């Protein structure tokens, strides 16, 4: 199929109208060649108020829409996403830099998320509490209200899909601020929903200066839930702001995933899987496997196989056929990689693969494996959020678990072992919201996704998907 490489005009969506004209704009840059491909409008305070008022009106309509009718709109939008995948995927690649295959996968996954939550819309059961004769106690689940959502650039359609889908299934309306780096993807999702029959005002999109927008939206009495996916630091700021205004929060924040590879695993087989998982989307994934703790008896074999696989990956523009890893999103991530590698090497780490920028145009960095990384290296405490794997040996499982659990974050964790006893111990003791054993999958729509400790709270997906977006109301009736 032919790949479309036109980048659309980006606009804000307020009460069903796309708005662009007459505003200040921010440039959208293609990270593969640093060219300017579009402009994002910057919302004024009046735009934000208009979006809030639209959401308030949209909520009144949508909460009164039958769950089956909400689900029908969502399923139609999912079908449109699947139908439009060849148009949407190149746009994601142009604004984010990841490969076309990765972009296609993200669009299809967004469709799967809508499909899952459409089912959940019809299963948002309350309950009847057993009571004395003449009494009836019930618990109703109702939509929480208008949601303010903030999503990052690394999954520009997947992350908005998570939040929009759960909100719509629950009967909520939303004002969303997607990342300014990757604005067209969230607009494309909204377009599918509007084309599927979503009433005006239920979903509104604004762009601009993140801190100003979050302050404005979170302090509005119209907003009842604040949901954010992004860094721990910003998540803490927004949680604090939400607390001042007594708003509920759902926070999906960063991680620094440990991978425990026990001595009974096959080092070459695990390394093969690790190459695919680590360098997917250039490692710019919150569940990216990062700290590889490998038992001493297979350490050397694992490092050699991992480094060999990483060095063999073809790095290049995401739109180019054959590229296996695209560019990073911006110059900030490139500099972060250079700084983290430089620091680790100065502390005594060994570069087993990569370690350098690729070319001098576009934000490309080599798939990098650092071995024997000493505990004082910055990369062991700062989330790399890039193509950087850190490998360290361990003696026994207790040591590995202690190292894995020593950070303040706990999003994803991984382990490889053929021992049931090890599996059981790791499942019990690893401090993470997600744990995959003998594979690197972590985020299917039917599974609850979210972290522990500083990685945030609340879950997206799974049977828990609508929890944050609904309130429970106790209704007690005295019948006689």
Which residues does the annotation mark as catalytic?
Answer: 252, 286
Please report whether residue 302 would count as binding ligand NAD according to CB under 6 A.
no
Residue numbers 310-339 binding ligand NAD by CB under 6 A: 332
Site for ligand NAD in 112-151 (CB under 6 A): 150
Of residues 8, 16, 210, 308, which one binds ligand NAD by CB under 6 A? 210
Of 237 and 343, CB closest to ligand NAD:
237
Instruction: Name the residue nearer to ligand NAD (CB basis): 122 or 233.
Output: 233
From residue 367 to residue 406, the character string flagging contacts with ligand NAD as x (rule: CB under 6 A) and all else as - is: ----------------x-x---------------------
Q: Which of 225, 152, 286, 252 is nearest to 457 (CA)?
A: 252
Is residue 450 close enough to count as binding ligand NAD by CB under 6 A?
no
How many Å apart are CA 426 and CA 265, to the nearest integer?
A: 15
Q: Residue written as tokens 């910055």?
A: 378
Shortest gap between Cβ of 454 and ligand NAD (angstroms)? 11
Collapsed DSSP state (helix, strand, coil) of residue 76: helix
| Residue 154 interacts with ligand NAD (CB under 6 A): yes or no | yes
CA-to-CA separations, 140 to 70, 126, 134, 319, 473, in angstroms, rounded: 18, 5, 19, 49, 5
Considering the complex, what minimum distance in angstroms separates the CB of residue 346 from ligand NAD?
21
Nearest to 387 by CA among 441, 341, 454: 341
179 binds ligand NAD (CB under 6 A): yes
3-state secondary structure of 247: coil
Contact 135, 479 (CB under 8 A): yes
Q: Which residue of 211, 312, 398, 474 would you call a contact of ligand NAD, by CB under 6 A?
A: 211
Using CB under 6 A, which of the segments 233-241, 300-308, 401-409, 472-480 binds ligand NAD? Answer: 233-241
The CB-of-219 to ligand NAD minimum distance in angstroms stands at: 12
Q: What is the CA radius of gyration of the chain?
A: 23
Q: Report d(CA 300, CA 294) in Å as an integer.
A: 9
Of positions 71, 286, 334, 389, contacts ligand NAD by CB under 6 A? 286
Determine contact, residues 172/145, Cβ cutoff 8 Å: yes
Q: Which two tokens stand for residue 122?
A: 């019809």
Among 93, 204, 229, 368, binds ligand NAD (CB under 6 A): 229
Smallest distance, ligand NAD to C-beta of residue 459, A: 14
> Scanning the structure block, which residue is given the tokens 């939040």?
163
Find the binder of ligand NAD among 59, 62, 116, 153 (CB under 6 A). Answer: 153
CB of 254 to ligand NAD, least distance (A): 4
- Distance separating alpha carbons of residues 93 and 101, to the nearest angstrom: 9
Query: Given the DSSP bridges, would you call strands 135-143 and 470-478 parallel, antiparallel or unpaired?
Result: antiparallel
Q: Is 220 in the site for ligand NAD (CB under 6 A)?
A: no
Q: Percent helix, strand and coil across the chain, each rounded to 5?
A: 40, 25, 35
What is the signed CA dihedral for 227, 229, 235, 237, rounded to 10 degrees?
-70
Burial code (b: 16+ CB inside 10 Å, e: under 16) for 401-429 equals: bebbeebebbbbbbbbbeeeebbebbeee
Q: How far is the CB of 474 from ligand NAD (least distance, A)?
A: 34
Report the residue number, 239 or 422, with the smaller CB distance to ligand NAD: 239
Residues that bind ligand NAD (CB under 6 A): 150, 152-154, 179, 210-211, 214, 229-231, 234, 237-238, 252-254, 286, 332, 383, 385
């Amino acid at each position: 199929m032919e790949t479309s490489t036109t980048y659309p005009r980006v606009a804000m969506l307020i009460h069903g109208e796309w708005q662009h004209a007459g505003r200040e704009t921010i440039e959208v840059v293609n990270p593969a060649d640093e060219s300017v491909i579009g402009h994002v409008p910057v919302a004024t305070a009046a735009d934000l108020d208009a979006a809030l008022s639209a959401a308030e009106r949209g909520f009144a309509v949508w909460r009164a829409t039958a769950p089956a009718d909400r689900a029908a709109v969502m399923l139609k939008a999912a079908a449109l996403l699947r139908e439009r995948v060849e148009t949407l995927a190149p746009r994601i690649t142009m604004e984010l830099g990841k490969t076309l295959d990765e972009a296609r996968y993200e669009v299809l996954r967004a469709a799967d998320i809508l499909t899952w939550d459409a089912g959940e819309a019809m299963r948002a059961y309350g309950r009847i509490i057993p009571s004395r004769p003449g009494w009836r106690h019930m618990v109703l689940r109702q939509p929480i209200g208008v949601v303010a959502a903030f999503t990052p650039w690394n999954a520009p359609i997947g992350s908005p899909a998570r939040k929009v889908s759960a909100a719509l299934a629950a009967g909520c309306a939303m004002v969303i601020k997607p990342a300014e780096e990757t604005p067209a993807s969230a607009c494309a999702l909204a377009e599918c929903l509007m084309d599927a029959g979503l009433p005006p005002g239920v979903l509104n999109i604004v762009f601009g200066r993140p801190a100003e927008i979050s302050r404005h939206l979170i302090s509005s009495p119209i907003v009842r839930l604040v949901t954010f996916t992004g860094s721990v630091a910003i998540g803490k700021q927004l949680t604090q702001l939400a607390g001042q205004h007594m708003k509920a929060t759902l926070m999906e924040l960063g991680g620094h995933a440990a991978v425990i590879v026990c001595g009974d695993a096959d080092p070459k087989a695990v390394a093969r899987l690790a190459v695919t998982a680590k360098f997917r989307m250039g490692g710019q994934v919150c569940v990216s496997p990062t700290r590889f703790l490998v038992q001493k008896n297979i350490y050397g074999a694992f490092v050699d196989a991992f480094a060999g696989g990483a060095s063999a990956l073809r790095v290049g523009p995401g739109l180019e056929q054959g590229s296996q890893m695209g560019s990073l999103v911006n110059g900030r991530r490139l500099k972060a990689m250079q700084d983290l590698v430089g620091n680790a090497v100065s502390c005594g780490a060994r570069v087993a693969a990569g370690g350098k920028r690729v070319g001098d145009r576009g934000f490309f960095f080599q798939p990098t494996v650092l071995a024997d990384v000493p505990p004082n290296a910055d990369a062991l405490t700062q989330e790399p959020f890039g193509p950087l794997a850190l490998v360290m040996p361990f003696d026994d499982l207790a040591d590995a678990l202690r190292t894995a659990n020593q950070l303040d974050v706990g999003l994803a964790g991984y382990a490889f072992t053929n021992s049931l006893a090890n599996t059981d111990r790791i499942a019990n003791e690893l401090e993470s919201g997600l744990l995959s054993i003998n594979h690197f999958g972590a985020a299917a729509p039917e599974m609850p996704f979210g972290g522990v400790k500083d990685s945030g709270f609340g879950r997206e997906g799974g049977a828990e998907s609508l929890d944050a977006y609904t309130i429970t109301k106790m209704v007690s009736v005295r019948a006689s």
